A and B are shown apart, each in its own frame.
Chain A
């Protein structure tokens, strides 16, 4: 099992450009998450998807859109990148059976917006 995979690993954008961060998991998990991590701050939830076909805003959704393409894939789109979106982005997934389950994280995408 590859676990949670993310692409790309690194990206540099100019202000106003758009891009999509891809995430996929092969653990048959229902729930998937997008977080951003900034220096001195904890991981913050951007969007999450509790199941295929559903998405909900997290703590910091402004400037982002998401798409839960199928059970495996959950993409994050920046329509018009801004320097404030310079960050490290992590995708994660979890099973949520009868009990809370561990979260499994992708390797991260380091995004710089100039």
Chain B
């Protein structure tokens, strides 16, 4: 069965801390997405990756295909990073399977 698990479910940190959110999946995938859902509900795509590492500003996403694991890192976290972060895996077809999300709260 195609499954995606995220950890932690909730994460609270102080402004400036380095944040790591983890995602593991059950079988081989074509691609993995990281999404951000703002408190207002909108969902935006942060990264899509199938190997290695991608960086956008303070956000870094990595994937280890052999270990079936991906991480999303946020450097120098800021209260505006507070959101729900969702990973989603593409298991070879056109449909994504989503994790349940990590709720991140950054305290000033």
| Interface residues of B, dominant DSSP | strand
Beta-carbon nearest neighbor of B96 in chain A: A103
Q: Show 24 A/B contacts (Cβ-Cβ < 8 Å), sorted by A.
A: A31-B94, A40-B100, A41-B100, A42-B88, A42-B97, A42-B98, A43-B86, A43-B88, A45-B95, A45-B96, A48-B94, A58-B95, A88-B41, A100-B31, A102-B45, A102-B48, A103-B33, A103-B96, A105-B45, A107-B41, A107-B42, A108-B41, A108-B42, A108-B43
Chain B residues 1 to 34 lying within 8 A of chain A, measured CB to CB, are 4, 30-31, 33
List A residues at the B interface (Cβ < 8 Å): 31, 33, 40-45, 48, 50, 58, 88, 90, 94, 96, 100-105, 107-108, 110
Which size bracket describes the interface of B in this complex? Answer: 20 to 34
B48 and A101 contact, CB distance less than 8 A: yes
Q: Which residues of B contact A42 (CB under 8 A)?
A: 4, 86, 88, 97-101
List B residues at the A interface (Cβ < 8 Å): 4, 30-31, 33, 35, 41-45, 48, 50, 86, 88, 90, 94-101
Q: Which residues of B contact A108 (CB under 8 A)?
A: 41-43
Beta-carbon nearest neighbor of A100 in chain B: B31
Beta-carbon nearest neighbor of B41 in chain A: A108
A103 to B45, CA, bound (A): 7
Q: Which residues of A contact B50 (CB under 8 A)?
A: 100
Beta-carbon nearest neighbor of A39 in chain B: B100
Q: A102-B33, A107-B42 are in contact. Are A43 and B95 (CB under 8 A)?
A: no
Return B72 CB to nearest CB of chain A, in Å: 15
A44 to B86, CA, bound (A): 13
A48 to B95, CA, bound (A): 8
A104 and B86 contact, CB distance less than 8 A: no
